[in-house]
Amino acid sequence: MTLFKALADERVSSIVLWLMGSFSGASMEEAGAVCAGAALLFGTALWWGRDLDAISLGESRAVFLGVEEGKIKTVLLVLASLATALTAASFGIIGFVGLVGPHLVRLVLGPSHRPLLAASFLGGAVLLAGADGLARSLGELPVGVITALAGGPVFCWILVRERGKGA
């Protein structure tokens, strides 16, 4: 990979950075657009926090409580997809943050969606800031390298822990 990167032109270098996820080439406009998208998703998710709690109880209970499960799931899926697309287009693929962060927060805070959503957004930001700081201090590594090295083992631990609960 190093030889390929050294012999290739600048476009290949930017593609490799995108595939590994990096904040190094991000502009303030991109960061602003991602923040606006995240704020929209966050506000919408918080708005429906109690409905998400009802949905987590099961479909029949959610319907009994007057929750429009299909509508809420569709809207949140579309918004989450747009936020993910905007983030990936701007900064590349940064793995494990959306998987590991919320699971770790849920271990501490429990299942209630309103505090879980707020803490997950904040926790993800702190996780990325820490990973980016570490990546830059180790020699301008892409942040996705750090999140993958840390996130893979943590995600496996979460899977093993949850599997043990179900047995």
Q: Give pLDDT, residue 17.
A: 79
- Residue 86: its H or E element: helix 69-91
**pLDDT tens digits, 99-130:** 888 888 999 999 899 999 999 989 988 999 99
User: Which of 21-25, 41-45, 58-62 is predicted most confidently?
Assistant: 58-62
CB 109 within 8 A of CB 116: yes
Least confident span in 16-25, 46-55, 98-107 = 16-25
Q: Give pLDDT, residue 8.
A: 64
Phi, psi of 125 (to 5 degrees): -65, -45
Q: Give pLDDT, residue 105.
A: 92
Least confident span in 25-29, 123-127, 129-133 = 25-29
DSSP three-state, residue 83: helix
Sign of CA dihedral 98, 93, 37, 150: positive
Q: Give pLDDT, residue 4.
A: 60
What gap in Å lies between CA 65 and CA 35, rounded to an integer?
33
Burial class (CB in 10 A: 0-12, 13-18, 19+), 33: middle
* Domains along the chain with CATH numbers: 21-166 (1.10.3470.10)
- Whether 13 has a pLDDT exceeding 80, the answer reads no
Which pTM does this prediction carry?
0.78
**Predicted confidence band at 82 (pLDDT cuts at 50, 70, 90)?**
confident
